[in-house]
Structure 1
Amino acid sequence: MQNRIEYAARIQPTSRQLAVQDMEFYAFIHFTVNTFTDMEWGTGKEDPALFNPAELDADQWVEACVSAGMRGLILTCKHHDGFCLWPSKYTEHSVKSSPWRGGEGDVVREVAEACRRGGIKFGIYVSPWDRHEPTYGDSPRYNQFFLNQLRELLTGYGELFCVWFDGACGEGPNGKRQEYDWEAYYALIRELQPGAAISVCGPDIRWCGNEAGHCRESEWSVVPASLRENEAIQEKSQQTDDREFARRYSSSEEDLGSRSVILSERELVWYPAEVNTSIRPGWFYHASEDDKVRPLAELLHIYYGSVGGNATFLLNIPPDPRGLIHENDRQRLRELGEVLRATFKTNLAAHAHIAASETMPGSDAANMLDGDQNTYWCPEEGTEYAVIEVDLGSEQEFDHIVLAEHRYGQRVERYELEYREGGAWKPICRGTVIGRKRICKFPAIRSRYIRITILESRWCPNISAIEVYRGVD
C-alpha cells in the first residue's frame, strides 16, 4: 500500500495544466444567433441575417472580465447551431453572410485582439455538434470538415490558452449519430497550439460534473486515468435543451481521489477540475433574465468553493443583442472584483515567524511565507503528520486563512486549523484536501498565534504558502 501512496504523491501536472490552474478565474462568453432568437440551442436553420450586434464592443467585454479579477476569456466560436463567429472558408453559415460589419466582420478576431489589449488570455469553445452542416452524421466527411474549421481557429488568432469541447452529439441528416474523432482533434491542437489546454472533453482539464456551480468538498487533481477517457463519452453531456440539467449533479461521483479510490486503480493521472456555471439562469442572453443575475453572495460562495477548493472557476457572461455585456451583469462583476481585491489585499502573515515540528534538511519553514509558489516546506519523506505554528507578531483580527501545496503535487488529505487564546488552542475549522489553494473562511477571530496540523497526507506534505487575511464586512 505504501508504494501506491508514494506513487499518487508523485503524480505531477504538465506545464499547460499549471498555466490554467494559475489563472484561477476566467470567463465564458456565449454569443451567437441564439442571442437574437432568444433561444439556448439553435436549430441550424437560422438566417444569418439575424446576426447584427450593432454596438459590439469586445473591449467592453474584456473590461467587464478584468473588473471581476478574471485572467482569461473563452469565446463560443461555434455552438451547436453551426453558425461561425469567424468567416470560415468551409461554410456560408457564418458572420460573412450576416449584415454585421457589412459581411466583413470577424468576432473571433475582435475578441482575441481585445484580450491582448486588456492583458488577459484568449481561448476558444467550438462545438463538435453542428446542426447546420449537411455532412454531420457522415462521420469521416464531417470529421474532416471539423478539422478544417479547427485549423482555421488554431492558426488565425494568435496564442490560445485553451480549446474547450463538450460532448453534445446528435444525428445527422442521414439519421446516423456522428462519431467524433477525438484523437485527431487532439493531435491537431497539440501540433498547432502546443501550449493550449484541451478542456472538459479533453485530456488536460476536467469538468466538475455539473453546471450549477456545485463544488466538491474534496476536489482531487490526482484521479483515476479512466476518468479522462470518460469525459469524451457523449452520454455524459447534454442531450436536450433542458434547464434542469444545469441544476443536477451525481452524489455518487463526489469521491474521485480518496485513498480508497486510488488504491483500487492501476493508473492515476493529474486531471484538475474546472467549475463552470453562468451568471444568469441561461447560457445565452435573454431579456427576461435581466433581473436574475446571480447575487454577489452566491458568486462569492462559488468562488470560494472552486478557486478556494482546488479547482478553477469558469463563469459565463452572455452579451446581449447590442453586442454588449448588460449593465446588471457588469455591475455584479465589478462588485465581485471589489470584494475579492479588498479581502486579499493585505497578507497579515507576510512578516510572521513560522516553525514546523518536522523539517527536511534544506526545506525551511520560512518558504511557506516567502510568496514564491515554487518554494515549499516539507518534512522527512514518509512523515504524514506534522504541526506548523505561525506567530503573527502581535494580535490580529482575521477571518480567512489561505493554504497552498507545492504546485507540482497534491498530498494533504486532512488538516486542522486552530488559534491560541490565553494558553489554550481552540479550533477554527477542519478540512480535507488543500491542493493548489484552499481558502478557509470563518467568523472573525483575534489572536497572535495560528496552528496548522496536517493530520493525514500522502508520503509527506509539501506546503508552499500560508496566508492570513481580514475580509471586508
Structure 2
Amino acid sequence: MKRNKIQILLMLAMLSPLSLVKAQWTGKREKPAKTIDVKYGTITRPNRTDSAMVAFRNYGLGQFIHWGLYAIPGNEWNGISARQGAPASEWIRTWGGPTAPKNWLNIYDNLYKQFNPKNFDAKIWAKRAKEMGVKYLVFTTKHHDGFCLWPSKYSDYTVANSPYKKDIVKQVVDAYTEQGIDVFLYFSVTEWTNKDCVTSIPKTADEKARFDRFLKYTKNQLLELQTNYPRIKGFWFDGTWDRSWVNSYEFTYNLEKELRKNNPNLIIGSRFRNDEHGSRHFDSNGVLLGDYEQGWERKMPANIDILDGNDWDCVMTIPPNGWGYVKNTDGMYLKTTDDVIDLLMRSRSMNGNFVLNFGPDGDGNMSKHENELITDLGKWTKANAEGIYNVSHFPLESKYGYYTVSKTDSTSLFLTVMNRPVNNILRVVFPKNSKLIPASAILLDSQKDLILKKANIGFDRDQNMYFDIIIPEDLQSKRAFLVKIKLGNAKTAEDKLMDAKI
C-alpha cells in the first residue's frame, strides 16, 4: 500500500524520541513489555530517605530566578519587540527574521560590557522570598548564552569581566541560606557562544577534539561550583538535549557519580543525562534517572497515578512563556495570586512542589507585578502554612478544591476551597469503610469553628458517607481558603436500610 509523504512524516514523528519524551508528560506512561539491559541507568535509589530528600518533599513552595545578560534587552531592542523572532525572552540571542537588529549576535555577545545591576541586592531578594513563603530557590549560574554569574576560572565570559565584577552567585547563595532557604543552582550544559560546544554527534577529528575539551570544561565548571558554594543542595540542569551530550552517556554517568561522591546528599533532577539507548528522564525500562521528575515545566500531572510514586516539582512562569525579564508585557496574561494558589495546592495535593519563576530586570529589580505577587502570596501562605508544608496526598477527590493531610498527624486533613458552593455547604465524601471520618472542622486562617454534620443522602447501594461543613454566610473571602478537618474514629454505624431489589 502506498503512503503519501505526509503520512510517512506523521509515522516518523510518532516514533521519534522527541514524541516519546512528550508522551511521558502528556499521557499514560507505558513501560516496555520486556526488560532492556541498561548499564548507564539510575545511580541513586528511588525515593531516597535521607534528610535532604525529606526536606525536598516538604518544601511546598519554591522560587526560580532567571537572570543574566538577557535582562538588559528585556525581550526587545531599540523599541522593537523580539516576540515574533525569538522563542522566549531568555532566548533573545537567537533572534532571527526581519525584525532582528543588524549584527544582533555581536550586539548581544557584548552586552556583558554593560552588565552593572545598580539595584541588585541579594539580601532583599532573599528577605522577600522568605516573606512569600519560599523554602527553596533555583538560581541561574549561566544560561544558554554561556555568560557566568560567578567568576569562573575556566571562562572569560563571566561577571568578573563586566563592570559589576562581583560574584553574584555567592551573594545569592549566602543571602538565601541565611534566610533558611535552600539553594539549587541552575546550570545550562549547552553554550551558544562556546566554539567547542558541538551540538551534533562529533564525526571529524577536529569536532571530537573540540567536544572533548567542552566535556572537560563542563566538568570543571560543575566541580568549581561545588567547591565554591558547598552549601548548595543540588543542581537544576538545562540544555541537555544536544545529540552530542546524549551520545556521551558514559561521561555523564561518571560525572554524576563524581558530583554525588563530593556530596552524597546532592539532589539532581531527571534532566541531567540519559542511558546508552538515548532515553532521557527515565531509562529504557522506565526507571527515573535522578532524584525527582524534572519534566513538569509549565505543565502539571493529570493525576497522581501518572507519577508512579516519584518525587517531582512544577516550575512555572508568570507570563505564558519567557523566564527572563520581559519589558513590555502588553497583551500577555500574567498569572494572578489566585492562579498561583491554585497551582501550588494542586501540586501539594499530588506530593509535588510548586516553583514560581521571577525575571528581574537589568538593574536587579523585580517588576511591580512580581512584587505584588510576593506580598499577596506571602500573606496567604503565612495564614495557611499548616496545610501547605509538611503535608502529603490524601486519597480522596473534592469538587471544591484540593486535599492535603499532615505528615506528622494523620488526623489533620486540609481542604483548599477553590470553588465555594453557592449554598455555603461543603459536602465531603468518605468511603463507608473509612477508619477515620470527619469529627470537627475549622477555618484554618481564623481558627473559627465550623458546623459539621452527617448527611446520609440515601443513594441505593451507596458505598459512601457524606458530611456537610457549613461555611458562615458572613465569611468574606476574596480568594481560596483552607478548612482544617479533624478526623476521628468511625464509631457510629450507618443505619441499615433496605437496598432496592432489582
TM-score scaled by length of structure 1 = 0.61
CA–CA distance in structure 2, aligned partners of residues 194 and 127 of structure 1: 22
Alignment of 1:211-290 (within 5 A): 226-229=286-289, 256=306, 271-281=310-320, 282-289=322-329
Indicate the SS of the match to 1:314: strand
Q: Is the 8 A contact 1:54 1:323 kept in 2?
A: yes
Q: Is the 8 A contact 1:201 1:232 kept in 2?
A: no
Q: Is the 8 A contact 1:29 1:76 kept in 2?
A: yes
**Alpha-carbon spacing, 1:153–1:33, altered in 2? closer, same or farther (3 Å):** same
| Counterpart residue number, 1:315 | 356
CA–CA distance in structure 2, aligned partners of residues 57 and 367 of structure 1: 40
| Counterpart residue number, 1:118 | 179
| Counterpart residue number, 2:235 | 163
| Counterpart residue number, 1:420 | 453
Q: Is the 8 A contact 1:223 1:257 kept in 2?
A: no
Alignment of 1:313-462 (within 5 A): 313-344=354-385, 368-369=410-411, 386-392=434-440, 396-398=441-443, 420-421=453-454, 425-426=465-466
What runs of 5+ residues in structure 1 fail to find an aligned partner? 1-9, 204-221, 238-244, 259-269, 348-365, 372-384, 401-418, 430-440, 454-473
One-letter amino acid of the counterpart of residue 21, structure 1: R
Q: Is the 8 A contact 1:128 1:169 kept in 2?
A: no
Q: Does 1:191 align with 2:261?
A: yes
| Counterpart residue number, 1:73 | 137
Q: Is the 8 A contact 2:298 2:317 kept in 1?
A: no
CA–CA distance in structure 2, aligned partners of residues 342 and 70 of structure 1: 14
Once the two structures are TM-superposed, the CA of residue 67 in structure 1 deviates from its matched residue by 1.5
CA–CA distance in structure 1, aligned partners of residues 412 and 483 of structure 2: 24
1:130 to 191, 199, 207: 191
Q: Is the 8 A contact 2:317 2:356 kept in 1?
A: yes
Residue range with higher mean Cα deviation, 144-153 or 313-322: 313-322
Q: Does 1:303 align with 2:344?
A: yes
CA–CA distance in structure 1, aligned partners of residues 186 and 360 of structure 2: 16
One-letter amino acid of the counterpart of residue 410, structure 2: M
One-letter amino acid of the counterpart of residue 252, structure 2: W
Once the two structures are TM-superposed, the CA of residue 423 in structure 1 deviates from its matched residue by 7.2
Deviations 1:348-371 (A, max 9, x none): xxxxxxxxxxxxxxxxxx963599
**Alpha-carbon spacing, 1:14–1:182, altered in 2? closer, same or farther (3 Å):** farther
Q: Is the 8 A contact 2:151 2:160 kept in 1?
A: yes
Once the two structures are TM-superposed, the CA of residue 200 in structure 1 deviates from its matched residue by 3.5
Q: Root-mean-square deviation (CA), in Å? A: 4.3
2:48 to 13, 32, 44: 13
CA–CA distance in structure 2, aligned partners of residues 447 and 273 of structure 1: 27
**Alpha-carbon spacing, 1:323–1:229, altered in 2? closer, same or farther (3 Å):** same
| Counterpart residue number, 1:99 | 163
Once the two structures are TM-superposed, the CA of residue 331 in structure 1 deviates from its matched residue by 1.6
**Alpha-carbon spacing, 1:84–1:223, altered in 2? closer, same or farther (3 Å):** closer
Q: Is the 8 A contact 1:72 1:122 kept in 2?
A: yes
CA–CA distance in structure 1, aligned partners of residues 435 and 56 of structure 2: 31
Deviations 1:203-251 (A, max 9, x none): 9xxxxxxxxxxxxxxxxxx999624249999xx98xxxxxxx9767897
Q: Is the 8 A contact 1:136 1:178 kept in 2?
A: no
Q: Is the 8 A contact 2:313 2:352 kept in 1?
A: yes
What runs of 5+ residues in structure 2 fail to find an aligned partner? 1-44, 75-88, 95-104, 199-209, 274-281, 389-407, 414-432, 446-451, 458-464, 470-478, 492-502
Deviations 1:142-191 (A, max 9, x none): 1110000001111101311121112443489xxx9874632133123212
Residue range with higher mean Cα deviation, 83-92 or 318-327: 318-327
Once the two structures are TM-superposed, the CA of residue 139 in structure 1 deviates from its matched residue by 3.3
Once the two structures are TM-superposed, the CA of residue 134 in structure 1 deviates from its matched residue by 1.7
Indicate the SS of the match to 1:256: helix
**Alpha-carbon spacing, 1:370–1:288, altered in 2? closer, same or farther (3 Å):** closer
CA–CA distance in structure 2, aligned partners of residues 14 and 449 of structure 1: 28
**Alpha-carbon spacing, 1:257–1:328, altered in 2? closer, same or farther (3 Å):** closer
Aligned residues: 337
1:84 to 127, 138, 148: 148
CA–CA distance in structure 2, aligned partners of residues 30 and 386 of structure 1: 46
CA–CA distance in structure 2, aligned partners of residues 389 and 11 of structure 1: 32
Once the two structures are TM-superposed, the CA of residue 93 in structure 1 deviates from its matched residue by 0.7
Alignment of 1:24-43 (within 5 A): 24-38=60-74, 39-41=89-91, 42=93
Once the two structures are TM-superposed, the CA of residue 296 in structure 1 deviates from its matched residue by 1.0
One-letter amino acid of the counterpart of residue 123, structure 1: F
CA–CA distance in structure 1, aligned partners of residues 305 and 365 of structure 2: 40
**Alpha-carbon spacing, 1:426–1:443, altered in 2? closer, same or farther (3 Å):** farther
Indicate the SS of the match to 1:27: strand
Once the two structures are TM-superposed, the CA of residue 427 in structure 1 deviates from its matched residue by 5.2
CA–CA distance in structure 2, aligned partners of residues 145 and 443 of structure 1: 50
Once the two structures are TM-superposed, the CA of residue 56 in structure 1 deviates from its matched residue by 0.9
Residue range with higher mean Cα deviation, 76-85 or 320-329: 320-329
Indicate the SS of the match to 1:81: coil
CA–CA distance in structure 1, aligned partners of residues 482 and 181 of structure 2: 34
Once the two structures are TM-superposed, the CA of residue 399 in structure 1 deviates from its matched residue by 8.2
| Counterpart residue number, 1:140 | 212
| Counterpart residue number, 1:214 | none
**Alpha-carbon spacing, 1:428–1:184, altered in 2? closer, same or farther (3 Å):** farther
CA–CA distance in structure 2, aligned partners of residues 142 and 344 of structure 1: 45
CA–CA distance in structure 1, aligned partners of residues 233 and 375 of structure 2: 24
**Alpha-carbon spacing, 1:81–1:113, altered in 2? closer, same or farther (3 Å):** same
Q: Is the 8 A contact 1:136 1:171 kept in 2?
A: no
Deviations 1:260-300 (A, max 9, x none): xxxxxxxxxx6311111122332001111388541111001
